[in-house]
Chain A
Amino acid sequence: MSTTNTSAAPNVAAPTIDPDATIAPPKRSLVSRLHDIGVAPALVLILIVAAVSIYDSSFLSSDNLLALAEQSAILGLLALGQSFVIMTGRIDLSNAVLTSFSAVILAKLLPGQGVLAIAIVLVGSLLIGILQGLVQFQLQVPSFIVTLGALGLWTGLSLTVSHASTILVMQNYETVSWIYGRDYGLPISFLLILALTLVLMAAMRWLRFGRQLRAVGLNERAAALSGIRTRRVVLAAFGLCSLFAGLAGVLQIALLQSASSGSSDSLQLPAIAAVVVGGTSIAGGVGGIGRTLLGVLIITVLRVGLDIVGVPSSAQPIFYGALVIAAITITVDRQRVTSVA
């Protein structure tokens, strides 16, 4: 190889927007650079907190903030799980409904089985997730169809099992009630989510799985042709998502001491909103776990903020819907969407 007189790279394609020059290095705005390191969602969070606290100065009291953190736990689990699925370029429309269903099952089993009931619910939900993934591969059906169908399935099963009424947990409630207690004045539920987030962030960085997850989301064919077992990666993502949904069901019992069909269903949209507001690309491959936690906090503050400002809870889904569209509008990579002119 004789690259002697070109080694200083004078005539290598310089940055240009001429398509002739192989691929133009994307000219990136400051905003998108900041976006990469998660500054944007952090700033949004600060802004919303500031806005709400100007409106109601008691918002920043420690009592209030702790209650807020506590409230974010179930949403947090759903959003963390959803992050994995969205990072593969797919979506799970059924995980909040699965949480309701898990809670119903747990409410039924807990009095008789105690801790075993929790294990059954968690293992069951993990298997459900893997099954949802398998169905996609075996039947070659997109994830949103499979999980949309699953949404109906879990809704129906919840209604059937609970006879459409609320199940109160009287016995063995103490098995789970500690989750919503406080240690050193801090809510255990939130510490749990925080710890989980840190563990998952570490896994994304130091385990091969994190790399492979992003590779699958960016380009499944290229990933497969690099010897990555893409199917396993996707199954793992759906398994984790559903496992966390089951765990969220456990938290719901701990919080409400009861379950009824549909008790967590309303979290579906906010959970997806949390992921995309955090900056994980809906197209897959780009994003992270830490930023999802920021997204969860944004959504939680927004919920409380909307209450404080006086928006009736019946109207609040309008905001989450608009937020999802806005967040995706800002973060979507349009080069993937538009065809080559």
Chain B
Amino acid sequence: MSDVAYSVQGVSKQFVGTRALDDVSVEIRRHEVVGLIGENGAGKSTLLKILSGIYQPDSGTVTLHGQPVKFRNIAHAMKQGVAMVFQEQSLLPNISVAENIYLGNERDAVKQGVFRWPLLRKRAAEKLDAIGSQVSPRTRTEQLSFAKRQMVEIAKAMATGEGSHHDPVILLDEPTSVLEAAEIQRLYEVIHELKKRASVVFVSHRMEEVLEVCDRVYIMRDGKVVAERTKDEIDVPELFRLMVGRDLSDSYYAENEQEARRDDVRMRVSGLSGRGFTDVSFDLHAGEVLTLLGVQDSGREDLARALFGAAATTAGTVTLDGKAVRFRSPAHAVKAGIGYIPGERKTEGALLGMSVEENMTLAHTDQVMKGPVLVHSVERKTVDEWISKLRIKTPSGKTSMASLSGGNQQKVVLAKWLLDPNLRVLILDTPTRGLDIGAKADVYALVRQLARNGISVLLLADSLEEGIAMSHRVITMKDGRVSGEFDSAPGARPERTDVLERMV
């Protein structure tokens, strides 16, 4: 018997106008963790959908345990032991964990339409134990945190292989994208366990993760597999080059462009409390990037919103350049020279139904007005300037925001604040989440540049690495309070583990 559990040979898939996959061949061996990495639009998601039976390839073959297969749909693939763990989870919230794990796959746990609960729960408990999850099969699914539901989802994927002679193939679609640092660590352990009983495909666009967890990795770009490497053969710079098609310029985080912060305090927060955070104090200097790190519900998002006037404070004071301020709404904060990029780009940051131009001038429309009148020629000129300054890839300012890639949308949202000549503080809530690596690097370079120009940046980082590498100082939050503070400079960064320790 060959060592290959699952493979595709020469598959292509065409969508209206684009070739999403072009002659791709991938093989997954038994008890192996295979990484699929590529930027958005590289085709990894399409490939995953073919592997999971959601899409059928236009050409090429799919082989499972040596037999050519043609999956009609995802249920068909699951019956044969190929299961997908979705990024946006597929569990039903209002039924128990045990029911979810065996949903549609109950077999003899249902007799004459009646559940045999003890059997169902016993089996579910076995699956959960196998991946070291503490969740009880009786729990109603909606009561679980995202990370725990993901464990249930993985247990469910494991259960699909039951009754087949072969170990299952489990496809993980960007499993870490909404997990916190500690949960990611836990997921790594689970994947390690999984490997003993299954073959795993791990899709990600985070380079560090793929190197951490995979035995072998396929790198995709423009619908093709551009390289295949084992874990030991490759490092981050090469991975970057293969994925993006250009060299990782001296530093991903533009660290050599970091300048010392200025002495003057831009924003002083003293004893600030509000919903989700208590007694928070810190100084934010001019030209400083201050990173806020914390797990979910650490209160950092709530704090960021309160500083922008989008949430109420109950105690404490904020001064801006020495003057006490109290923002009752974002409108007040915007007037005072504060910008805020929300974590949810598509639903809170960008107005997808408007043009690039309209998005860019939405907050500081007065910059393109003469008296009460919007001057369209000035608007066009201003917007075009920012489009070229930030290298925003868009046919024109009139283009709909919805047709831009995530990275370019985020640049437009940034430009919305940069339009303000009096911009003093920029609050960035995970500004690089979901962006391509290339686009991330652009955002990092931009943040550096803004700091050099004296703007103060409060960064709610998406990952530990990002938060540490970008910062002049790192502040950790836990349960709504400041739990640690670290100075940070190129060459003298705080240790990951030290920072993590203060977060959990």
A-side residues, CB < 8 A to B, are 1-7, 9, 11-23, 25-27, 205-208, 211, 214-215, 218-219, 221-229, 285-286, 340
Contacts and interface: CB of A to CB of B under 8 A. Distances in A.
Contact of A2 (B246, B361, B402): B246
Nearest to A208: B365
Given A2-B246, A13-B41, A27-B16, A227 B335 contact: yes
Most buried by B among A6, A16, A21, A227: A227
B348 A221 contact: yes
Interface stretch (B111-119, B268-276, B325-333, B490-498): B325-333
Nearest to A13: B41
B406 A22 contact: yes
Contacts, number: 159
21 contacts: A1-B441, A2-B246, A4-B246, A9-B393, A11-B39, A11-B222, A14-B41, A18-B20, A18-B41, A20-B40, A21-B405, A23-B409, A27-B17, A206-B373, A215-B354, A219-B352, A224-B310, A225-B342, A227-B331, A228-B331, A229-B331
A208 B358 CA distance: 11
Most buried by A among B351, B365, B446: B351
B41 A228 contact: no
A134 to B, nearest CB: 16
A247 B405 CA distance: 47
B60 interface: no
Contacts of A7: 391
- A interface SS class: loop
Contact of B245 (A6, A208, A218): A6
B394 to A, nearest CB: 10
B88 interface: yes
Most buried by B among A14, A25, A226: A226
Contacts of A19: 45
B334 A226 contact: yes
Q: List the 4 closest A-B pairs by CB distance, nearest first.
A: A227-B334, A20-B45, A25-B403, A21-B41
B365 A16 contact: no
A23 B333 contact: no
Most buried by B among A4, A13, A15, A214: A13
Contacts of B340: 225
B20 A225 contact: no
Contacts of A13: 40-41, 405
A73 B427 CA distance: 50
Interface residues of B, number: 67
A90 to B, nearest CB: 16
A63 B41 CA distance: 61
B184 interface: no
B391 A11 contact: no
A27 B331 CA distance: 36
B280 interface: no
A22 B350 CA distance: 13
A227 B41 contact: no
A222 B348 contact: yes
Given A219-B353, A224-B330, A227-B331, A206 B245 contact: no
Given A6-B438, A208-B369, A227-B335, 10 more contacts: A1-B442, A3-B438, A11-B221, A13-B40, A16-B16, A207-B373, A211-B365, A219-B351, A222-B349, A225-B342
A15 B404 CA distance: 10
B41 A3 contact: no
A2 B391 CA distance: 10
A123 B357 CA distance: 37
B17 A225 contact: no
Contact of B403 (A23, A214, A218, A221): A23
A26 B402 contact: yes
Contacts of B358: 211, 214-215
A6 B342 contact: no
A229 B309 CA distance: 12
A19 B46 CA distance: 9
B492 to A, nearest CB: 25
A215 B335 contact: no
B354 A228 contact: no
Interface string B32-57: 00000001111111100000000000
A18 B15 contact: yes
Given A7-B391, A207-B374, A226-B416, A20 B310 contact: no
Interface in B443-501: 445-446
